[in-house]
Chains A and B, each alone.
Chain A
Amino acid sequence: MRRSLLLRTLPAAALALLGLAWQPALADDAKPYAGQTISVLLPPWGTLPKALTDRFTAKTGIKVELQSLGWDDIHAKILTSMVAGTAPADVTEVDWSWVGQFAAAGWYQPLDKVVDTAVLADTPAAKIFTAGGKLIAMPYNNDFRILIVNREHLKQAGIDTLPKTPDEVLAAARAIKQKGIARYPLALPLSATEGTSTAWYLLTKAFGGDLFDADMKPTFTDPNSAGYKALAFEIDALKEGLIDPAATGLTDVQMQQLFTDGKVSIDLAGWAGNPAVYDDKAKSKVAGQIATGMMPGTGGKSRTLGLPEALGIPATAEHKEAAQAFIAWWAQKDTQADVYAALGDLPPRLSALKALNEQGKLTGGDTLLAQAGTVEPLFAGGTPDWYPQFSSTVSTSINQAAKGQMTVAEAIAAIAEGAKEAMEP
């Protein structure tokens, strides 16, 4: 009798222990990884203040060594480390655009069993980091694009409502320019950088289209297509003097700086986390003057693009379990709210977003919540491994068109050819 009870109890106990092992315990009395130090490699906007990491250390006993690097540099560091068979860090940045590459190379440890299913369901952006049915990174910010305007500039130009279509955006920009409120009212990057590509993808959606069909054939080559119209929109606005000619050398972040300086009026590809920055007196000259709106679109519909960033654990990481505990901690609602307060990273969990809005802590909260429901991934089937090569062709071609070295038609043809080459095995 006692033996049968033991036999029945043992598997249950084993399962319970296994469950504990997979879900790193965060309770004060369970600190299995206390004393370990994990390295965390993130860009400046993900680099937590010490007060927050100290809180994690107090909970788990795990020390955090934060490394802050530029976004591009992190990519290069991950690549070189992984090829050399070493770990760039125990936890690293994983951008949505790297997912195809990293998944194909098998460089990141699946996190499906690390994060609770309820948390995953509450984090729609997690789908973007799922490749081959496996979650390779857990979102830590909820970057999608919205319309951000300098309300005062629009008001001075006699415009009371936010533009809802691309044509209304142009009309507003023209009015602002004519009245001499801003010399170049429209902020759109046109340099050979990733931000230029993503702005074009976003505008393609705004014009009601997509880049590829279900067979991954380009759908932007027809002059009536959304992608073609989106590029023509950008180049025409530049020629009309609505975009600064220096935009050919400016990144999206530098464009945002122009907005905070009050030099531009309409941030057409605004980051969802930026209203908090633009409205912060310590960081912006236009604090208190901004308004947020849904991404302008055609056909009465607003569409936007999800470009989130996530935390992943390299397969070569030394302290995987402690790294899992860190990711699980960051996935908590409270942590995400604290990170938003400290860094402006919009929480990827919808419940955290709603809670912040209810507390009145979310700048442009209603817009963000409404737009969050319309977020689409750029690639419905997951970011392909050829994306970086394609994206490089996109930004280079747009940059050349903006410099007058290519027509819109030539740039579109170059992008289509670049897509074909990138997809070649």
Chain B
Amino acid sequence: MAAALPLSARPSRRFAASDALLGWALLAPIVAVMLSLVFIPLGVTLVDSLYRVDPMRAGQPFIGLRHYVDLLTDATVRTGWANTFALVVICVVLETVGGIAAALLLDRIRTGRMWLLAAVIVPWALPPVVNAIVWLWIYNPSYGLLNNILQAMGLIGERVVWFNDRTTALFLVAIVHVWRMLPLTAIIVLAALQSVPEELYEAARLDGAGPLRSFTTITLPLIAGALGIAMTQSTVFAFNLFDEAWILAGASLDTRTVLIQVYMSAFQQLHFSYGMALSVLLMLASLAVSLFYVLRVYRETRID
């Protein structure tokens, strides 16, 4: 009997070892992809940002943190940061609020939801450039739909050149981005809503809870995880906003985001490592903000 124990243990260890091997084998492709497409380029970018990499100048001397110091004093970059943060705030708020509202509505619809869902995700499925060009026509001061509608409603007299005002321009760029990204938030939240047990709402109703109280005490805590994911993707995409701002207003300082500045520094002015340093800062800012409020949302809305 004493000798039988190790015998029975041996196959289970073997199975465990083969399970582990299988696990690693399944992980290998994604590890390889992440290493080659994310972590190695990220490492190279980090290292190169400490050198002067500029094809117009001979050599690539080590310059330490000089680019990072220069970036702090660069007025154009500071404007880019201000624009980016403004866009992040507008986009994340509108996408989250709008996404939850759209998901709640979709959740209530029983017939034809499939078709409605298909229609909702169209803006998200379209290439961002196409979206931006459509909105460029809408905002056009000469023949744009927005001016036509507002004039027809008697809200404006003269046609407005929307992008001549910085605040309006930023808001309009954000609207185009929200239009594209809101469906994704809605779909993520809708998936979470459908997993909330109906009995909880019935119990709350019996206890006299109204719709608002049910939403804050049942819905919100139970979709917190999904909401965290949705807000993270909203934040990351808003930090990386490029196409909409570039197509609607080009290099205009009023709507120039940090990512546009990265493009201009690296690919128009050929200051590659300067652009790399700025992209590293952008990545850090995006990570920090995402982490901050995702943790906060999770902590405040979780049910232990």
User: Residues of A at under 8 Å CB distance from B?
Assistant: 75-76, 79-80, 82-83, 100-101, 104-105, 107, 191-193, 245-246, 248-249, 251, 385, 388-389, 392, 395-396, 399-400, 403-405, 425
Contacts and interface: CB of A to CB of B under 8 A. Distances in A.
Given A251-B250, A399-B253, 4 more contacts: A79-B267, A193-B250, A246-B161, A388-B269
A67 B254 CA distance: 34
B55 A83 contact: yes
B159 to A, nearest CB: 8
Given A246-B142, A399-B253, A389 B269 contact: yes
Contacts of A246: 141-142, 161
A83 B164 contact: no
Contacts of A405: 166, 254
B251 A392 contact: yes
Interface string B250-279: 111110000000001001111110000000
Contacts of B141: 245-246, 249
B109 interface: no
A46 to B, nearest CB: 21
Given A191-B250, A192-B250, A193-B251, A392 B267 contact: no
A392 B161 contact: no
A100 B57 CA distance: 12
Contacts of A83: 55, 272
B269 A392 contact: yes
B135 interface: no
B267 A192 contact: no
Contacts of B270: 79, 101, 105, 385, 388
A385 B58 CA distance: 13
A405 B76 CA distance: 15
Contacts of B249: 192, 249
A205 to B, nearest CB: 24
B250 A82 contact: no
Contact of B56 (A101, A191, A192, A392): A101
B163 interface: yes
Nearest to B249: A249
Contacts of A388: 268-270
A75 B268 contact: yes
A425 B52 CA distance: 11
A182 to B, nearest CB: 13
Contacts of B55: 82-83, 104-105, 107
Nearest to A105: B55
A245 B162 CA distance: 10
B280 to A, nearest CB: 18
Given A191-B250, A192-B251, A245-B141, A76 B267 contact: yes
B251 A396 contact: yes
A19 B268 CA distance: 39
A385 B56 CA distance: 7
Interface extent on B, as a size class? 20 to 34
A104 B269 contact: no
Contacts of A107: 55
Interface of B: 55-57, 76, 141-142, 161, 163-166, 249-254, 264, 267-272
Nearest to A425: B57
Pick from B56, B141, B264, B271 the residue with the most CB of A within 10 Å: B56
Nearest to A396: B253
A245 B250 contact: no
The 10 closest A-B pairs by CB, nearest first: A104-B56, A105-B55, A246-B141, A192-B251, A389-B269, A192-B252, A385-B56, A403-B164, A245-B161, A246-B161
Contacts of B269: 388-389, 392
A392 B268 contact: yes
Contact of B161 (A248, A251, A425): A248
A4 to B, nearest CB: 50
Which one of A100, A191, A246, A404 has the greatest number of beta carbons of chain B within 10 Å?
A246
B250 A403 contact: no
Contacts of A80: 267
15 contacts: A80-B267, A101-B56, A191-B250, A191-B252, A192-B250, A192-B251, A245-B141, A246-B161, A248-B163, A249-B161, A388-B270, A399-B252, A400-B254, A403-B165, A405-B254
Contacts of B161: 245-246, 248-249
Contacts of A396: 76, 251-253
Nearest to B141: A246
Contacts of B253: 192, 396, 399-400
B243 to A, nearest CB: 13
Given A75-B268, A191-B250, A245 B164 contact: yes
Nearest to B271: A389
Contacts of A404: 164
Contacts of A79: 267, 270
A104 B171 CA distance: 41
A403 B267 CA distance: 27
Contacts of B166: 403, 405
B143 to A, nearest CB: 10
Contacts of B165: 403
A39 B251 CA distance: 30
B145 to A, nearest CB: 15
Nearest to B142: A246
A105 B250 contact: no
Contact of B264 (A249, A385, A392, A399): A392
Nearest to A100: B56
A75 B264 CA distance: 11
Nearest to A421: B74
B267 A395 contact: no
B163 to A, nearest CB: 5
A104 B251 contact: no
A103 B224 CA distance: 56
Nearest to B52: A425
Contacts of B164: 245, 248-249, 403-404
Nearest to A249: B163
A101 B165 CA distance: 34
B261 to A, nearest CB: 10
A80, A107, A389, A396: most-surrounded residue (chain B CB, <10 A): A396
A75 B57 CA distance: 19
Given A248-B161, A248-B163, A249-B163, A403 B254 contact: yes
Contacts of B267: 75-76, 79-80
Given A79-B267, A79-B270, A104 B57 contact: yes
B259 to A, nearest CB: 14
Nearest to A422: B269
Most chain A CB atoms below 10 A, which of B161, B165, B272: B161
